[in-house]
Structure 1
Amino acid sequence: MNTKNTIQKEEKTQKNESLHIVAKEQKPTEVVQKSPEVKKEEVFKMIEGFKPEPLTAEERIQRIPLFEELSKRFKHLKEKSNDLKLFKAGNDKTNAKITFQNSQGFNFEIKNSHVIERLTKEAQEELDILLAEANAEILAFEM
């Protein structure tokens, strides 16, 4: 036999051997059901790993101005919401007027009662959203 034929036979043998792979049979694994208490404990342990470090006294003191600004914002929004409610309550729908004024002094006046009603409704909805956000920020604030 010449060398070329020997090399080709070896290659064929290697290819045939690689095709004869025996698949092993795997037995189904049993699924272990954990009790709700065990699951709860595991979740609490996982949460503990993400718990932030407690703030130092200095860090808490530095956060006071931020809390004061949040509280000023909430108070201002609450005051404006109450002002708008008073405007709506006192509106007789005949002599009401809303005036818009920009920083350059241009004025835009509205006297139509239907337009005023729609504007005040939208303004109240927006104030309610802003108040809810400010309230959530204050409640979530950590000193």
Structure 2
Amino acid sequence: MLALLQRVKEARVEIDGNTVGQIDAGLLILVCAERGDTPAVADKLLAKLLKLRIFSDDAGKMNRSVQDVNGGLLIVSQFTLAADTSGGNRPSFGNAAPPDEGRRLYDDFVARARVAHPVVQTGQFGADMQVHLVNDGPVTIPLTVR
């Protein structure tokens, strides 16, 4: 699975002008299931991002996790993270999981996140979404878990 984490002061997802998910400070997580990913891979990704120390401590060093700061999670499906741009000017998305498999893994990832963390909001799988955020730092971290 692939994820792009953005430390945010606030973030929200809109569909047709309606807010469907919104958090204050925390992580905006763009997540992509790839072919062959399993729930065990999703578990590894979730464990990593919940403990990743990318929030500042009192000394200004990145030494706290999203759990340490009681930040929110806004999880958004993003199959385009699997883009392969090595063959020309049009990206190929052949590494992304097929839609049914991707939806199943995304839903499982969100369900597990809701068990492990108190504030979890989402976008809508497969929808045309507008994502609004105030990146804090800016801090943007790519994660790949296999």
Question: Does the TM-score normalized on the shorter chain lie above 0.5?
Answer: no
Q: Provide the TM-score with structure 1 as the length reference.
A: 0.21
Please identify the structure whose Cα radius of gyration is greater.
1
Q: Which has the higher strand share?
A: 2
Q: Provide the TM-score with structure 2 as the length reference.
A: 0.20
Higher relative contact order, structure no. (Cα contacts within 8 Å, ≥ 6 residues apart): 2
Q: Which has the higher helix share?
A: 1
